Amino acid sequence: MTAIKESSTRNFNKQISVASCPVTYVMNKIGGHWKPIIIYHLMSGAKRYSELRRAIPEITEKMLIQHLKQLQEDNLVIRTAEPVVPPFVSYALTNAGDKLTPVLNAMAVWGLGDMKETGS
């Protein structure tokens, strides 16, 4: 991934957009193809990495690891590691992540309705 200079016009415009538009703010947190899917699977409770891989077979390991780290940095997911052998690591939604449940449920309802209408 290419780093963006802190002083770039693009970065400056992005910061203004985030500050003035709540939708842009949300999309910066959960945008992309995989983040909402990961959050959706965590809505039912904490999952181990392997459970997420099985639940989302299309995602690559690299993308799952990368997005879990980003979701942690954005305080939407918490990673809990138990000091046992073999290591036991689980991922769960934080309070902030849990507040996305009605949003993602609404997206799922809309998607199911639109799939029926369009025959997709």
Q: Tens digits of per-residue pLDDT, 65-74? A: 999 999 999 9
Q: Which domains does the chain have, with CATH numbers?
A: 33-118 (1.10.10.10)
pLDDT at 7 over 70: no
In whole angstroms, give the CA distance from residue 45 to residue 5: 38
For 64, residues 6+ apart whose C-beta sits below 8 A from its C-beta are 34, 38, 49, 52, 53, 56
What is the 8-class DSSP label of residue 11? H
Rounded mean pLDDT of 73-84?
94
Q: Which tens digit of pLDDT belongs to each residue from 24-56?
A: 888 889 988 999 999 999 999 999 999 999 999
pTM: 0.80
